Amino acid sequence: MATRPPLSLKARAVGYLSRREHSRSELARKLAPHAESPEQLEQLLDALERENWLSNQRFADSLLHRRGSRYGAARVIQEAKTHQLGSEQLGDLQERLRETEPARAREVWRKRFGTPPATPEERAKQIRFMMARGFSRSVIGKVIQGAEDELPDDME
């Protein structure tokens, strides 16, 4: 059985990037065990950025697209921080998330619960769920209160 030659560092990087966007720090972490030296790794990452194959801005957009519909701003921003995005990208991401937070929270709540809480215990359960998803307390309160306000008079 023929063995394949080991992949070059650039081939590994392109393979990772072809599957999904990666932040510079995430790609560096994945490639570090295969690099001969830290300098070689930095040179490759710089070349990938120059060729526009690696972009922290595209990674932030990808993260927003993948996580934004299911999680609140706090949780998405926390994940972005673990990928060591720059303060400019974090600020932009946070601003874009804050603009759509109420609508996204309403949709997550509707998919999971759909009906206003009938008891204080149910209300607490819904609040805990939404907070675990990274939505702010004020947005959660508005979503649940808004659902209660939309009830027809005969259901109250």
pLDDT tens-digit readout, 47-90: 999 999 999 999 999 999 999 999 999 999 999 999 998 899 99
CA angle 14, 19, 25 (to 5 degrees): 65
In angstroms, rounded to a whole number, what is the distance separating the alpha carbons of residues 153 and 69?
A: 32
* Alpha-carbon 152 to chain mean position: 36
Q: pLDDT at position 149, please?
A: 63
Length of the chain: 156
Token pair listed for 58: 């595209």
In angstroms, rounded to a whole number, what is the distance separating the alpha carbons of residues 41 and 147?
A: 52
Residue 8 is given by DSSP the state P
pLDDT tens-digit readout, 89-123: 999 999 999 999 999 999 999 999 988 899 999 99
